Amino acid sequence: MLRLGFVGTGTLAQAVIGGLQETHGDRCTILVSPRSEETSRALAARYPNVERAASSAAVVEGSDIVFLGMRPQQLAEGIAALPFRDGQVVVSFLAGVPLALVREKVRPAAAVCRAIPLPGIRLRRGPVVLHPGHALVEDLFGGLGDLIVADRESDLTAVSNASAMMSSHFAMQNRMVDWLSSRSVAPDVATRYVRSMFAGLAAIGLDGLDRGEQLDPAHHETKGGLNERVRSHLASAGWFDEVATALDIVEGHLSGEKAGLPRLGSDEHEMTGKEADART
Ligand SMILES: NC(=O)C1=CN([C@@H]2O[C@H](COP(=O)(O)OP(=O)(O)OC[C@H]3O[C@@H](n4cnc5c(N)ncnc54)[C@H](OP(=O)(O)O)[C@@H]3O)[C@@H](O)[C@H]2O)C=CC1
Ligand SMILES: O=C(O)[C@@H]1CCC=N1
């Protein structure tokens, strides 16, 4: 049995543990840190192979692979004085925290990777990016969506930054649902319609990729029709350019003050992919 441990039992840890049940449930035991009491208790109650450990130290002591699932700003406190050992594998989920920094903090653990799974992993859908590759970790994430092993940490950093679009995607969906409701469409109908529409589009995108097709928006609209009008309005309003601007902000290239956001810039955040590579 492979012994997995999670220090930081939050949203992402919960999703990964849920996904792993389907693919590796009978081949691993899972220890979770106790601090998110409700989540850790619920996981232990739901899955027979999950145990709520007495402490984060007990998770590290009892695991072959330790996943770090706290927020970046919680890293220092979350792993202070934990008994990492040589021969242990540590996988950090922390977006924006360079590998070099994690390695330093989990010494003498032998193998340290960064992984960016997304919440869809619970349903075994969506991308999981890993750097560097590691056979055991690749085996664990294989079958949990589209595993991408990045050769360079800067690639992982860039895609991790791009994942910042997730919540905006749902915000956009909700605005469409609200608009439909304002046209007296029943909320359940509006919600089902919008979510199902985007699910279908996602499937088309992946299917096209498998067949080597480009995703040309002009091929997904009727000439002179509704979609063309909306796309043209949004383009002239600068909407699509703002996507890149927002990602620039996440990357730290632009002043966060411009967008009214705090700048990502603590010692434990990387500012750009290049800087991350330089620190490795
Ligand atoms: N959510 C996502 O879609 C993705 C998240 N990530 C990364 O995964 C990490 C977790 O994100 P997410 O799950 O959303 O965040 P959550 O806030 O849901 O989870 C963080 C967890 O860490 C726990 N924690 C905080 N401090 C400590 C500590 N000192 N010791 C032990 N546990 C501690 C929290 O406990 P408590 O709640 O009690 O404070 C909570 O259970 C982040 O670093 C994020 O960058 C990466 C890709 C996608
Ligand atoms: O929103 C976040 O910070 C996390 C990290 C990457 C995706 N979600």
Query: Candidates 7, 11, 250: which one to mutate for ligand 1, based on the most atoms within 8 Å of Cβ?
Result: 11
What is this model's ipTM?
A: 0.97
At 252 the pLDDT is 86
Which has the closest alpha carbon to 10: 44, 46, 34?
34
pLDDT at 270: 54
Higher pLDDT, residue 107 or 268? 107
Residue 103 confidence (pLDDT) = 96
| Range in 143-152, 162-171, 237-246, 270-279 with the lowest mean pLDDT | 270-279
What is the pLDDT confidence band of residue 256, given thresholds at 50, 70 and 90?
very low
Is the pLDDT score of 139 beyond 60? yes
The pLDDT of 17-46, averaged and rounded, is 96
Average pLDDT, the chain: 91
15 lines ligand 2 (CB under 6 A): no
- Return the pLDDT at 265: 41
* pTM, two decimal places: 0.90
- Using 50, 70 and 90 to split pLDDT, how confident is the model at 238? very high
Residue 52: phi, psi to the nearest 5? -85, 115
Of 94, 156, 160, the one to substitute when testing ligand 2's pocket (max ligand atoms within 8 A of C-beta) is 160
Which ligand has its closest atom nearest to the C-alpha of 10?
A: 1
Q: Give dist(CA 232, CA 129) in Å, integer.
A: 33
pLDDT of residue 63: 98
Q: Is the CB of 163 under 6 A from ligand 2?
A: yes
Q: Is the pLDDT of residue 278 over 50?
A: no
Mean pLDDT of 189-211: 96
Task: Check pLDDT > 80 for residue 182.
Answer: yes
- 3-class secondary structure per residue, the chain: CEEEEEECCCHHHHHHHHHHHHHHCCCEEEEECCCCHHHHHHHHHHCCCEEECCCHHHHHHCCCEEEECCCHHHHHHHHCCCCCCCCCEEEECCCCCCHHHHHHHCCCCCEEEEEEECHHHHHCCCEEEEECCCHHHHHHHCCCCEEEECCCHHHHHHHHHHHHHHHHHHHHHHHHHHHHHHCCCCHHHHHHHHHHHHHHHHHHHHHHHHCCCCCCHHHHCCCCCHHHHHHHHHHHCCHHHHHHHHHHHHHCCCCHHHHCCCCCCCCCCCCCHHHHHHHC
Task: Looking at the CA of 121, name the nearest ligand.
Answer: 1
Please state, for a pLDDT cut of 70, what percent of the chain lies above it.
Answer: 90
Q: Is the pLDDT of residue 259 over 50?
A: no
pLDDT above 50: residue 141: yes
